[in-house]
């Protein structure tokens, strides 16, 4: 005789028919995400052993001007942007890991050659070669990262990747500072030693990063459709994505090379020997902010986080225009790190949200192209304005464009559905 279940009582659950699926803790990250983070960390140690010393090297050791520095940085980033566009498009049709490996390899070989530069144009050649490698790897790597995680953890994954990248950007200047101050090594020798972490990044990439499985037939069919029936950029790239790129372009026009911030720090009285330490502190704070910002965007959406970051950028540039003392530079570099921590990973996560999986390589190529192609006029114009009208006017111009872009993002780009 069966027992009656009292009214309102919970019914017993039926017996399990199989093993309960394991609950994946939120703290876990895919192995590919961790491996790509390690690759970026080591590559940035190599890059940032050199980068914060470039303004001093170009303007003092080699006798270049602020305009020359802006031209070097702008042309280098434009070179990278053109290749990011092409490599992103191509990575939708072939395996992505070989492109990423080749790109990191080119940069690792070119970067230490800075130690042999004897004129500003030599620096330009090395920087452009380094950026060729970056252009070849960035869009395929971002698409590889997006394919390695679920949509609900995409912001966190990109934030983690940026955190690892920025941690490398902290370690690199500290290594450079130790070699210069502790070991008494010449500047050019520091550039040569940057080859070591670059080679290590290639080893990690080759051994530990895996290519996510893609269904070959749907990708091939999508590729054929793109060649025959699609508009030049494909109908699956939505109007919202194009509006996002336009707004991003406006913001980037006011976002000059960080080399100018380092020059400004020197103007404000930060000692040359402390410039790598300042840059290292800045990157450590970026690293600390990136993963929480990405996780926050998974919960509240990408747009509020990006808008907040762009407004912080505008405020920092306005304050850089008015700064008068060395401690102002230290404080403002900390605030600038907050801006980058908020937006670097989240801007890329928004790209992945706005486009379908089979077009992500192309979309990341267009994203990176937009950011990079605007870097040339941004850096060159900033350098010219600085020389003719002073740092205050140049920084005010950047702040105005950032504020306008933040308003445009709120009004013109709808919140996407994640796919």
The pLDDT confidence band at residue 229, using thresholds 50, 70 and 90, is very low
Residue 2 has a pLDDT of: 42
229 contacts: CB under 8 Å, gap ≥ 6:
none
Reported as a single tens digit per residue, the pLDDT across 44-102 is 999 988 887 887 788 788 877 777 877 787 788 778 778 888 888 888 888 889 999 99
Reported as a single tens digit per residue, the pLDDT across 276-327 is 788 888 888 988 988 899 899 989 989 999 999 999 999 999 999 888 899 9
306 contacts 344 by C-beta, under 8 angstroms: no
Distance CA 283, CA 10 (A): 54
The pLDDT confidence band at residue 19, using thresholds 50, 70 and 90, is very low
75 contacts 201 by C-beta, under 8 angstroms: no
Distance CA 292, CA 160 (A): 9
Distance CA 249, CA 369 (A): 10
Distance CA 35, CA 281 (A): 24
> In this model, does residue 331 exceed pLDDT 90?
yes
Max mean pLDDT range (64-78, 217-231, 265-279): 265-279
Give how far Cα 10 sits from Cα of 1, 5, 13, 20, Å: 20, 8, 9, 21
**Considering the chain, what percentage of its residues have pLDDT values greater than 70?**
87
Residue 214 has a pLDDT of: 59
Residue 8 has a pLDDT of: 42
Helical segments of 209-325, H only: 216-228, 239-253, 258-267, 275-300, 302-322
Distance CA 105, CA 43 (A): 10
7-11, 169-173, 233-237, 380-384: segment of lowest average pLDDT: 7-11
First-last CA distance in the chain: 52
> What are the structural domains of the chain?
31-210+234-412 (1.20.1250.20)
H helices, E strands: number in the chain:
17, 0
Mean pLDDT of 204-224: 65
> In this model, does residue 39 exceed pLDDT 80?
yes
> In this model, does residue 24 exceed pLDDT 80?
no
Residue 219 has a pLDDT of: 43
Mean pLDDT of 91-117: 90
Residue 230 has a pLDDT of: 42
5 contacts: CB under 8 Å, gap ≥ 6:
11
**Considering the chain, what percentage of its residues have pLDDT values greater than 90?**
31
> In this model, does residue 234 exceed pLDDT 70?
no
Q: Which helix (H) or strand (E) holds 44?
A: helix 31-48
Residue 316 has a pLDDT of: 94
> In this model, does residue 28 exceed pLDDT 80?
no
Interhelix angle for 31-48 vs 195-208, to 10°?
170
Q: Is the dihedral of CA 99, 101, 105, 111 positive or negative?
A: positive
> In this model, does residue 255 exceed pLDDT 80?
yes
DSSP summary character for residue 95: -
Residue 12 has a pLDDT of: 45
> In this model, does residue 206 exceed pLDDT 70?
yes
Q: 3-class DSSP state for residue 75?
A: helix
Reported as a single tens digit per residue, the pLDDT across 75-88 is 887 787 788 888 88
Residue 417 has a pLDDT of: 67
Residue 63 has a pLDDT of: 79
């Amino acid at each position: 005789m069966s027992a009656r279940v009292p009214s309102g009582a919970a019914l017993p659950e039926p017996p399990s028919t199989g093993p309960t699926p394991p609950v994946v803790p939120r703290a876990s990250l895919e192995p590919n995400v961790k491996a790509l983070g390690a690759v970026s960390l080591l590559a940035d140690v190599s890059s940032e052993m050199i980068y914060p010393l470039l303004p001093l090297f170009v303007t003092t050791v080699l006798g270049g001007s602020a305009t020359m520095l802006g031209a070097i940085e702008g042309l280098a980033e434009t070179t990278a942007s053109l290749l990011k566009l092409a490599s992103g498009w191509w990575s939708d049709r072939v395996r992505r890991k070989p492109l990423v490996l080749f790109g990191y390899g080119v940069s690792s070989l070119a970067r230490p050659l800075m130690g042999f530069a004897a004129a500003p144009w030599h620096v330009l050649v090395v920087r452009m070669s380094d950026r060729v490698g970056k252009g070849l790897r960035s869009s395929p790597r971002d698409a590889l990262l997006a394919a390695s995680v679920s949509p609900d953890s995409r912001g966190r994954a990109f934030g983690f990747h940026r955190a690892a990248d920025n941690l490398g950007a902290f370690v690199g200047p500290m290594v450079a500072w130790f070699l210069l101050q502790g070991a008494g090594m010449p500047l050019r020798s520091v550039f040569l030693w940057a080859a070591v972490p670059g080679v290590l990044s290639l080893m990690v990439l080759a051994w530990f990063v895996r290519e996510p499985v893609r269904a070959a037939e749907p990708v091939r069919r999508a590729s054929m459709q793109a060649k025959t029936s699609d508009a030049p950029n494909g109908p699956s790239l939505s109007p919202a994505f194009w509006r996002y790129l336009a707004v991003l372009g406006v913001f980037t026009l006011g976002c000059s090379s960080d080399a100018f911030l380092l020059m400004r720090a020197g103007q404000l009285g930060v000692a040359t020997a402390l410039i790598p330490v300042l840059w290292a502190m800045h990157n450590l704070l970026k690293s600390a902010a990136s993963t929480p910002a990405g996780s926050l965007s998974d919960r509240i959406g990408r747009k509020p986080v990006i808008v907040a970051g762009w407004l912080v950028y505008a405020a920092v540039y306005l304050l850089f225009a008015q700064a008068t003392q060395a401690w102002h530079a230290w404080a403002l570099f900390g605030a600038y790190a907050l801006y980058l921590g908020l937006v670097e990973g989240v801007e890329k996560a928004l790209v992945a949200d706005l486009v379908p999986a089979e077009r992500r390589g192309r979309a990341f190529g267009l994203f990176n192209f937009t950011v990079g192609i605007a870097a040339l006029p941004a850096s060159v114009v900033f350098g010219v304005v600085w020389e003719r009208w002073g740092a205050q006017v140049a920084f005010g111009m950047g702040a105005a464009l950032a504020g306008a872009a933040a308003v445009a993002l709120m009004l013109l780009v709808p919140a996407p559905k994640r796919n």
